[in-house]
Amino acid sequence: MNPEEYRVMAELEGVQWWYAGMRRIARALLEPLLPEAGSRSRRILDAGCGTGWNLQALSVFGETHGVDLSPLAVAATKRRGGRVSLGNLLSLPYGSASFDVVTSFDVIYHAWVVDDVQAVRELARVLKPGGVLLLKAPALKILWGAHDEAVLSRHRYTRPEMETLVAAAGLTLVRSTYANSLLFPVLLTRRYLDRALNRHGSDVALLPPLLEKAFGTLLSIEAALLGWINLPIGASVFAVARKPGA
């Protein structure tokens, strides 16, 4: 990723509406599968941990570890006190069956992940039998825009594509869903305007306070809805799967 993007992420990832909302949604998807009783012994890997904020959020479920390809990301995570290693998603620096939970937020879409099937197989390799994978990616080619180019995207995914990836890794799908759904019309309009106005650059920035609060509230509503239903369309897509075994 562009080094400037890591600097912006480090500043905003803890507070910006989208990051905070996606963490709430991830927690809503994981909570039914990760009982509190096992949290003391549970080991969690966030693959492509960025600047480390997800490690703090995931710590409610167990002991968190991060890995990232970027020395800038590793340094930022260490400054936050996280356990982190330098490593490539296509060849993780861990033994097989090392973790009870593996997460990967918006990594497999990236230009340097030249083989997303191998990447997900590698995530499955380090997962213990019976363990849980949560995989998240940007969704739907129709939303491709200036932000994707700024963060060196390679692809935006559909639910069937995510389901195919976890199946190819030998995992059993638990559920898949879109997210950032309530704002989908707004985001789609923004993308059409980006193309019409030839806008360039990332979307990662703080909005005016009222919009930050409003958009964050909509993602909180989605997190609650995902306790009951899957969402049919959205700007992000999640797949949750288990590794067969004990």
* Residue ranges of domains in the chain, CATH in brackets: 3-242 (3.40.50.150)
Asked whether the beta carbons of 44 and 65 are under 8 A apart, the reply is: yes
Q: Where are the beta strands (DSSP E) in 58-206?
A: 63-68, 84-86, 99-105, 127-138, 172-179
Average pLDDT over residues 216-234: 97
More confident residue, 96 or 15: 96
Q: Predicted confidence band at 231 (pLDDT cuts at 50, 70, 90)?
A: very high
Q: Is the pLDDT of residue 2 over 80?
A: no
The whole-angstrom separation of Cα 51 and Cα 45 is: 14
Mean pLDDT of the chain: 92
pLDDT digits (tens, 9 = 90+) for 163-215: 999 999 999 999 999 999 999 999 999 888 888 878 777 777 888 999 999 99
Question: In the prediction, which pLDDT does 190 show?
Answer: 86
Question: In the prediction, which pLDDT does 128 show?
Answer: 97
pLDDT digits (tens, 9 = 90+) for 60-80: 999 999 999 989 889 989 988
Q: Where are the beta strands (DSSP E) in 5-146?
A: 43-47, 63-68, 84-86, 99-105, 127-138
Both tokens assigned to 178: 């879109």
